[in-house]
Amino acid sequence: MAIALEFLDFVVPLERIRQKYPGGWDQCLKDHERLIGGRVWFDEYLLRDGAMNPADIESLVEEWTSLGVQPTAVLDGQRIWNDCCVVESTLGGPTLPCNSLEFSEDGRSAWLKGTQSGEIKWRHK
């Protein structure tokens, strides 16, 4: 499975949601119910939320941080994405190194590292 990417993408592995989101995956689905199929979609491993400008993506990162997600870490002196990843799909990829995702050659989809890309999940039409 894979998720489609567009504009500015906030991507978080479902395992992190299960571990850190207050109420886990079930509560996350309830909290995002009205957004699923619009700006939010997911596959069996990843959830994607998104924005069309840097201020809105920054707000998403701040919101998820307040819920217990640790967005960044430092590895070998370099700042990296930790529990989530922000991707500028139209400008070439993650805004910081992101060790949890793999990307299609065209940069329009991503999947959890170590899994198969397969079918691409996207918004409902």
Average pLDDT rounded to a whole number, residues 110-115: 92
Sequence spans of domains, the chain: 2-113
Between 12 and 93, the higher pLDDT residue: 12
pLDDT of residue 124: 66
Average pLDDT rounded to a whole number, residues 100-125: 86
- Among candidate residues 121, 123, 125, the one with its CA nearest the CA of residue 46: 121
pLDDT of residue 125: 45
Find residue 72's DSSP bridge partners: 81
Q: Which helix (H) or strand (E) is 55 found in, with range?
A: helix 54-66
Per-residue CA distances from 25 to 30, 34, 45, 102 (Å):
9, 15, 11, 22
Confidence of residue 30 (pLDDT cuts 50, 70, 90): very high
- Among candidate residues 54, 27, 48, the one with its CA nearest the CA of residue 123: 48
Mean pLDDT of the chain: 92
Per-residue CA distances from 11 to 76, 77, 83, 119 (Å):
23, 23, 9, 17
Between 93 and 10, the higher pLDDT residue: 10
Average pLDDT rounded to a whole number, residues 103-112: 90
- Residue pair 100/33 in contact (Cβ under 8 Å)? The answer is no
Q: What is the pLDDT of residues 56-99, one digit of tens each?
A: 999 999 999 999 999 999 999 999 999 999 999 877 789 999 99
